[in-house]
Amino acid sequence: MTIKKDLVIVGAGPSALAAAVYTTREEISTVMCEKGVVGGLAAITDWIDNYPGFAKGIKGMDLASQMQDQAERFGAEIQYAEVAEISDGDDFKIVKTTDGELHAKAVLIATGSAYRQLNVPGEKEFYGRGVHFCATCDGAFYRDKKIAVVGGGNSAVQEALFLLKFASHIDLLVRSEVKASEVLQRELDEKVKQGKITVHLGVTPTGISGDNGKFSKVLAKQNGKDVEFTVDGVFVFIGLIPNTAFLNGSGIKLDESGFIKTDANLQTNLSGIFASGDVRSGATMQIASAVGEGATAALKIREYLEKQKHHLITLPTESV
């Protein structure tokens, strides 16, 4: 079955939901395609403490649910299907999904990214309850506690330095050698001298262990020997994987890491196809900024539709 809409949004995370609120209020018919959980990574984050408007913090699932309710209140539709392909037809963009084809005048790709995981036993079991991938989201839970940070690149060192605002001590677990920039390595060396960070080289995590369902340690191999790091939590910073595999062969340009390249209007190299949020090259990987990009993308899509004379609406005198 083929469905025709003004806009198809691929994904239903914070950026997509924010965009849908704006487009549906403008009476731009909008459908979101989501293959997993509405809310994306935000929904599976145990607790979000840095999203504006929630002074006491909010559960990730609750925030995602409120965003979904708001978008649906204005008329956004959510189709639970996986997008396999996007192509440019004569009059419409063609979005092929596991539930059929969608034809749209414009497409917004807001599929986000996934944390590169360790893929070791116990990692999924303790996700959000000892195993974390976001320092700004979860660091404050470890005030005056000992934690481990896995990774040796810029993000791992930078986040380890940030986590010292809360943690009493950090064990930095590095697979080979520290590969961060010289500036970050100088800062790291200073914290090592102060006894706040201990760097462990040649470490490959092999598992996450706990007692009675409570996180307790990181299991690893160091230079061929079994070792354990007894800490209160572990933060993993070994990279992000953009959810862009379905774009292979689409003609949409990606950067060297697979994130979508856009112009100042958040439009890709293909006219009428936009991208926002964590899937976009240069994104800050924060919920608040993803929501802001979603709103911006919605306004740019409205301008695109008007310019193409695809959808006639009356511009409001003031945007809320």
Q: Helix, strand or coil for residue 235?
A: strand
Whether the pLDDT of residue 316 is over 50: the answer is no
Query: Which pLDDT score is estimated for 1?
Result: 58
Domains and CATH numbers, the chain: 2-114+240-307 (3.50.50.60), 117-236 (3.50.50.60)
What's the CA dihedral at 134, 136, 141, 145 to 10 degrees? Answer: 90
Could you read off the pLDDT of 264-315 as tens digits, one per residue? 999 999 999 999 999 999 998 889 999 999 999 999 999 999 988 644 444 3
Cβ distance 204 to 119 under 8 Å? no
Return d(Cα 76, Cα 221) in angstroms, integer: 49
Burial of 166 (0-12, 13-18, 19+ CB in 10 A): middle
Report the predicted TM-score, pTM, of the whole model to 2 decimal places: 0.74
Quick one: pLDDT band at residue 30, thresholds 50, 70, 90?
Answer: very high
Whether the pLDDT of residue 130 is over 70: the answer is yes
Return d(Cα 282, Cα 273) in angstroms, integer: 17
Burial of 139 (0-12, 13-18, 19+ CB in 10 A): buried
End-to-end CA distance of the chain, in Å? 36
Q: Residue 40: left if φ>0, alpha if ψ -120 to 50, beta else—which one? A: left
Whether the pLDDT of residue 115 is over 90: the answer is no
Q: What is the mean pLDDT of residues 251-274?
A: 96
Q: What is the mean pLDDT of residues 152-170?
A: 93
Query: Which pLDDT score is estimated for 313?
Result: 41
Could you give the residue numbers annotated as active site? Answer: 134, 137-138
